[in-house]
Amino acid sequence: MSQLKEMNNFLERVKRLFNVEDQERIVEALNYAKLKHSTQQRESGEPYIIHPIAVAEILLDYGTDANTIIAALLHDVLEDTDTKISELKTLFGNDVSEIVNGVSRVKTLRYKSNENENSESLRKMFIAMAKDIRVIMVKLADRLNNMRTLDNMSGEHKVRKSLDTRDVYIPIAERLGFGSIKGELEDLCFKYLYPKEEQEISALLEHTLKRHSGDLENVNLELKKMLTELKIEGDVKSRIKRKYSVYKKSQAKGLESIYDLLAHRVLVNSVKDCYYVLGEIHNRWKPVPGRIKDYIAAPKKNGYQSLHTTLLTEEGMPFEVQIRTKEMH
């Protein structure tokens, strides 16, 4: 995607999400970052500004405030250009300059197994240095974009970055509840650390999707129709299980024991609706015994809440449905 198209897509989203005053501040930060990185390029040969825009785009998905988006656009200017923190403070305020400074300080941490600096102590340092949760959010988005663009790097660099990501960033993403970032980082590490196994799982999922894409769509439509009939406001999304998650489960239980290669997520407005929808789903499809999990009544350690149930279509195809409120999601 060209630099101009990247910027236009980003600015269109900003217009939809922020008021006029915040839009103007974000555009100012974008132009400032463009100027500061004007002579720099990524390993791919693309203009460097593509990277901070991509980091800011990732954070737009999490409904972050304008200052976090501005900090994402500026997150490399202290380390990679001649910018001084006093200049950032004058132009964009203390809040933004503190986030950017926090991200720059976190960048000095590296995984050094040969110096007995284990991943747990590194994680503690990472969190201790980040007095503001937004520092961690920017850093996770920064790492995600860097992992997405590793293909132009050497094999050794890919492995080193993947080990660093696996041992430091993924546990933090999990601990803080950034499930989609955690899942994508796991898949990317899997790709570079276990390429043979990743290709095998990719082939399996491609075959599964090709064989059952119609079933996936039919269940999706039936769930939406069910919500309409019940007069419950909600959203339904479908997905095929992530590669690394399939690999991990297959190592522990075998592929034949994986029931949630295909899954649907139902988002509703209240806990009452969650249980009502669960009961109705069990009326319409046959549930698999022992595969109903209530993480609403008993949340996971990181605060994750949802109802999970595995069901069978009339043809005997297993699929999972996750039900939770939009707030839980």
| Residues designated catalytic | 79-80
Q: How many CB atoms lie within 10 A of CB 319?
A: 22
| CA-based nearest residue to 281, from 214, 209, 215, 224 | 224
Nearest CA to 245 out of 204, 293, 201, 291 is that of 201
* 299 phi and psi angles, rounded to 5 deg: -60, 155
d(CA 317, CA 311): 8
By CB atoms closer than 10 A (0-12, 13-18, 19+), residue 298 is exposed
Q: Is there a contact between 299 and 311 (Cβ–Cβ < 8 Å)? A: no
**Residue 240: beta bridge partners?**
262
CA distances from 194 to 3, 9, 186, 190, 199 (A): 32, 34, 11, 5, 9
Q: How many CA atoms are closer than 13 Å to the CA of 41, on its beta-carbon side?
A: 5
Task: Enumerate residues 6+ apart whose C-beta is below 8 A from 310.
Answer: 259, 260, 287, 288, 291, 292, 318, 319, 320, 321
Half-sphere exposure of 319 (CA within 13 A, CB side): 29
SS3 of residue 203 by DSSP: helix
d(CA 82, CA 59): 26
